[in-house]
């Protein structure tokens, strides 16, 4: 199996999957072993959810002041809202996806114009790759998957569930994400050891 490349020879790979499937582990591997530049969409969101940033103002305007704190968006409160209301989830995506898409595009442009790093392949870690938005930037989409029970065990064991997501909300989040996964060109099952996972990544690359 071999990933599709652009005509320039530089690969821009979209990496998707539900929470805890192993997207970051895959991107870390590509960065470390193959010299990819890594764009982490959720980290970009975290930055703009801080007070005074665009995302913070969008959430306050669209959802109300109770969803923002003194320093940043109350992500736990916002998550509880959208997991319980499909209309609110669509509202959040409609408000934020164009902003995130623009940020990712700017990062890609910076990398392409970045001297020695201009020829690097790029992996974009994100859940959403809609064709008119993030999907327009990538040559291929790779889906990382794992059984739900494996994902939950990983997340709940990881630093005592570092995101502080209640288990009931975690079940709902995984289900909603599974129902809304983008169409992928390749799928890697991350259901065994790290060495097995890395071997599967190598198989896709080669």
Higher-pLDDT residue of 162 and 174 is 174
3-state secondary structure of 19: coil
Report the percentage of the chain scoring pLDDT > 70.
91
For residue 89, being part of any structural domain is answered with yes
For residue 55, being part of any structural domain is answered with yes
For residue 164, being part of any structural domain is answered with yes
Adjacency order of strands within the sheet including 186-189: 37-40, 122-125, 12-16, 140-145, 186-189
Predicted confidence (pLDDT) per residue in 108-142, tens digit: 999 888 765 567 899 999 999 988 899 999 999 99
For residue 140, being part of any structural domain is answered with yes
HSE-CB for 102 with a 13 A CA cutoff: 8
Asked if 206 contacts 35 with a C-beta cutoff of 8 angstroms, the reply is no
- The total number of residues shown for the chain amounts to 206
How many domains does the chain fold into?
1
Give the max Cα distance, the chain. 50
Q: Average pLDDT in the 188-192 region?
A: 95
Question: Would you state the structure tokens that stand for residue 52, as one six-digit string?
Answer: 């005074």
CATH number at residue 112: 3.40.50.300
Question: Would you state the structure tokens that stand for residue 142, as one six-digit string?
Answer: 């790779």
Residue showing tokens 């998550």: 79
For residue 79, being part of any structural domain is answered with yes
For residue 110, being part of any structural domain is answered with yes
The domain containing residue 196 runs over which residues?
12-205
**pTM for this one?**
0.90
Q: What are phi and psi of 79, to 5 degrees?
A: -60, -45
Asked if 157 contacts 113 with a C-beta cutoff of 8 angstroms, the reply is no
Question: Would you state the structure tokens that stand for residue 13, as one six-digit string?
Answer: 């790979």
Cβ neighbours around 13 below 10 Å, total: 25
- How confident is the model at residue 1, as a pLDDT? 44
For residue 5, being part of any structural domain is answered with no
Q: What gap in Å lies between CA 151 and CA 19, rounded to an integer?
A: 8
3-state secondary structure of 102: helix
- How confident is the model at residue 81, as a pLDDT? 96
For residue 93, being part of any structural domain is answered with yes
């Amino acid at each position: 199996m071999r990933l599709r490349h652009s005509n320039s020879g530089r690969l821009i790979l979209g990496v998707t999957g539900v929470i805890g499937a192993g997207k970051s582990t895959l991107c870390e591997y590509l960065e470390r072993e193959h010299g990819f530049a890594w764009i982490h969409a959720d980290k970009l969101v975290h930055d703009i959810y801080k007070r005074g940033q665009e995302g913070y103002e969008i959430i306050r305007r669209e959802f109300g002041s109770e969803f923002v704190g003194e320093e940043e968006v109350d992500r736990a409160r916002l998550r509880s809202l959208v997991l319980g209301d499909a209309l609110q989830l669509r509202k959040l995506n409609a408000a934020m996806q164009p902003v995130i898409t623009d940020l990712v595009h700017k990062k890609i442009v910076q990398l392409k114009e970045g001297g020695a790093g201009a020829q690097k392949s790029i992996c974009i870690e994100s859940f959403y790759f809609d064709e008119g938005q993030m999907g327009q930037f990538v040559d291929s989409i790779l889906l990382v998957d794992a059984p739900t029970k494996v994902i939950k065990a990983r997340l709940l064991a990881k630093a005592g569930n570092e995101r502080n997501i209640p288990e009931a909300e975690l079940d709902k989040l995984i289900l909603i994400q599974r129902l809304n996964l983008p169409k992928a060109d390749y799928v890697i099952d991350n259901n065994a050891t790290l060495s097995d996972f890395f071997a599967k990544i190598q198989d896709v690359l080669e």
